[in-house]
Amino acid sequence: MYRLLRFILVVALLSPVVTSSVFANAEAHHGAPDKELTPEEQRDENNAFVKHHTIDSHDFGIVSNEETGTHIGFPLPVILWDGGLHVFMSSAFEHGEKVVESKGNYYKLEHDGKIYKTDEHGVVMTETSIDKETKEEIVHELKPLDFSITKNVFVTIFMCILMFFLFKGIAKSYKTGLAPTGAAKFFEPIILFIRDEIAIPNIGEKAHKKYMVYLLTVFFFIWFLNLIGMTPLGINVTGNIAVTFVLAIFTFLITQFTGKKDYWMHIFWMPGVPVPMKIILIPIELIGLVVKPFALMIRLYANMLAGHIVLGALIAAVYFFDAYLAKTAFLGLTFFMNIIELLVAALQAYIFTMLTALYFGSAAAVHEEAH
């Protein structure tokens, strides 16, 4: 009896968290729910909805309603380098409709989210070059170098500041005593888990301390960013291959620069193996050196992006059907998918951290005994 009540309580508490993403998108998605759309229009709208929630954008739009034309959100600065520095707010673009003039150059925001260089009438300037081999003309559009503060950059910076103050505060709270208080009560078991279950088994008692900084940072960074991606705001930072690429590059660089002699020996001249095998192993190990961080990047990126796309498609499917039974079925499916996504958020952070620790372990390993 008690267990049943507890189950109902958990479901009731979780449902607003999860279904909020469905209803927050109701206004944005269908301004008038009883308007009839052809299947093609419906599909285009669904695609646009999923796209809006998975790609980067130059302004922080929270909710927008195409029917009434209201957009809630704030614009972000656009910083372009095109021979000279151009800075302006993205509200000048007016959601891709206006051509912006800056220091004599004109720029337009296209539907794929990128900024192109145009002439004053909004026609994109192109440059034709001749392909050396096939002698065909290739036309490619001119784009300035885009250093803007986009939605992902803004959220990443915000997350850095948030994490900095959060963990500074937790560290300070330990000055008054060893027992944790406040936020430390929640984070201490997690931090100890990373140290005792991830760092020490993989790297060893002696060498793990200097790697703990990076491991803790990367775990909480990925976990918090994944959780923010689960909110209905449509922020998708870890599902962006550039972000995961940088994280993988950091892991790669740290492994290389802290590698001891045994690490390089294992790659180039594996001890305890006959010489012909050693020659064969060298290219395999070199490829492995690059493939391992590459797999880290792809794993996190694909998991997060696929999760967002599936959730977006399921939410769109709720509005696609007219029969209420189908709507309820898809709503239930969305609920479960959202729960699974919450699990995946934490799991991917854990996997990334664990594999990073594994690679650090092989770098820092010092074998005293002979193989």
Partner 1 sequence: MIGAGLIVIGVGIGIGRIGGSAMEAIARQPEATNKIQTAMLIAAALIEGIGFAALFAA
Residues of this chain that interact with partner 1 (CB under 8 A) are 197, 295, 298-299, 302-303, 306, 347-348, 350-351, 354
- Report, in Å, the least distance between residue 114 CB and partner 1: 21
- Reference 331, options 63, 6, 36, 26; nearest CA is 26
| Residue with Cβ nearer partner 1 (251 or 303) | 303
What CA–CA distance (Å, rounded) separates 145 from 82? 6
Angle between helices 39-54 and 275-320 (to 10 degrees): 130
Q: Helices (H), strands (E): how many in the chain?
A: 10, 10
Instruction: 193-198: list long-range contacts, CB under 8 Å, 24+ apart.
Output: 194/219, 194/353, 198/350, 198/353, 198/354, 198/357
- Closest to partner 1 by CB, 105 or 303: 303
CB of 345 to partner 1, least distance (A): 13
Q: How far is the CB of 294 from partner 1 (least distance, A)?
A: 8
Provide the minimum distance between the beta carbon of 361 and partner 1 in the complex, in angstroms, as a whole number.
14
Least distance from partner 1 to the Cβ atom of residue 360, Å: 16
19: left (phi over 0), alpha (psi -120 to 50) or beta: alpha
17 vs 55 by CB, closer to partner 1:
55
Q: Which is nearer to partner 1, 61 or 307 (CB)?
A: 307
Q: Are 305 and 239 in contact (CB under 8 A)?
A: yes
- Distance of alpha carbon 358 from alpha carbon 252, whole angstroms: 12
Nearer to partner 1, 148 or 303 (CB): 303
CB of 197 to partner 1, least distance (A): 8
CA distance 16 to 13: 7
In the complex with partner 1, which residue's Cβ is closer, 145 or 291? 291
- If the CB atoms of residues 163 and 351 are measured against partner 1, the closer one turns out to be 351
One-letter amino acid at 149 equals I
What whole-number distance in Å separates Cα of residue 105 and Cα of residue 23?
Answer: 42
Nearer to partner 1, 337 or 354 (CB): 354
Planar angle of CA 183, 186, 188, nearest 5 degrees = 100
Q: Are 289 and 248 in contact (CB under 8 A)?
A: no
**By the 8 A CB rule, do 108 and 116 touch?**
yes
User: C-beta of 310: minimal distance to partner 1 in Å?
Assistant: 12
Instruction: Give Cα separations from 349 to 295, 297, 342 (angstroms).
Output: 14, 12, 11
Minimum distance, C-beta of residue 347 to partner 1, in the bound complex (Å): 7
